[in-house]
Amino acid sequence: MSDNNSNNNHFDVIVLGGGPAGLTAGIYLSRARLSTLILNEGTAGGQMVLTHEIANYPGVESISGYQLSSVMRKQAQSFGAIIRSNVVVEQMDLSSKVKSFTLADGKRYTSDAVILATGGRSRTLGVPGEDRLKGQGVSYCATCDGDFFTGKEIVVVGGGNSALEEAVSLTKYADKVTIVHQFDHFQAFEHAVKEAKENSKISFVMESTITSFNGDSSLDSVDIKNLKTGEVRNFKTDGIFIFIGYVPNTESLKGMVDLNERGEIKVTADMETSIPGVFAAGDCIAKRYRQVTTSVGEGTIAALAASAYLKG
């Protein structure tokens, strides 16, 4: 089935989202000869595209997120999945037996089953100056912006795997990296903590948080508050990278499927949502661990479960 030469816009399954979960679902569904459409509001690959290096994907020694997403996209397309990227979904009906999606360009697609793989986005600190200085020294993507800070001094905010791993990758460019974290310990895996602590370019400011981003046309300093003493000091920096987790992209799904208090989609072990025929996978679902591999596994389960649903 072709989006370009067919007037039939009905598919067996529509996958909403083209990150690792959505692309994996597309691979499994289309290889099972189910007509599959992946609707993606961004670039295929999702947050994975922003990852500088993936070194823990089984069977692959090291690969960039962009490269891995490109391979997965080509795999899905080779089996027959149709991918439409950079689309805007204006309306969707998940409750009817036949599901439907209407895009901003007026095209309407229907399907018998749906997999929601809308992913998440970087969480912001929400403090003064952050919005104003985004792209002017405030960044959420080391891969995108790291080389702008060659030879400079920067701050990384966060204490999880992403924060420590990206801090290490940023030392390829910056002369000095200061990690600011609100707790007295890190939430990252031990190998990530060890690698960061052994890097001579990295220093740590613990039990502290950023309270303000300062600068006129670009960032020139941040205010750092010590959470134990309450002391606030001004800290000069050329840039700041924020890695404090993700917010699920589920705003458009409120009132359609059951969400938890964090806005994550509630799913069963088979990735089924509160609506029959609607499944979910990836960083938009309620789960503890967020890795490319976990999203791939969930995309696999969702695709197999959707296939079983279609067979009745």
Q: Give the catalytic positions in this structure.
A: 141, 144-145
CA angle 23, 28, 32 (to 5 degrees): 140
Q: Which two tokens stand for residue 127?
A: 């403090």
> What is the rounded distance in angstroms from the CA atom of residue 139 to the CA atom of residue 144?
9
> What is the rounded distance in angstroms from the CA atom of residue 42 to the CA atom of residue 200?
37
Query: Distances in Å between the alpha carbon of 248 and those of 259, 272, 299, 307?
Result: 10, 17, 16, 25
Question: Are the CB atoms for 19 and 121 separated by under 8 Å?
Answer: no
Pick the closest to residue 160 from 130, 127, 185, 138 (CA basis). Answer: 185
Question: Are the CB atoms for 140 and 122 separated by under 8 Å?
Answer: yes
The whole-angstrom distance between residue 16's C-alpha and the CA centroid of its chain comes to 14
CA angle 108, 44, 104 (to 5 degrees): 25
Pick the closest to residue 259 from 238, 290, 280 (CA basis). Answer: 280
Q: What are phi and psi of 163, to 5 degrees?
A: -60, -50
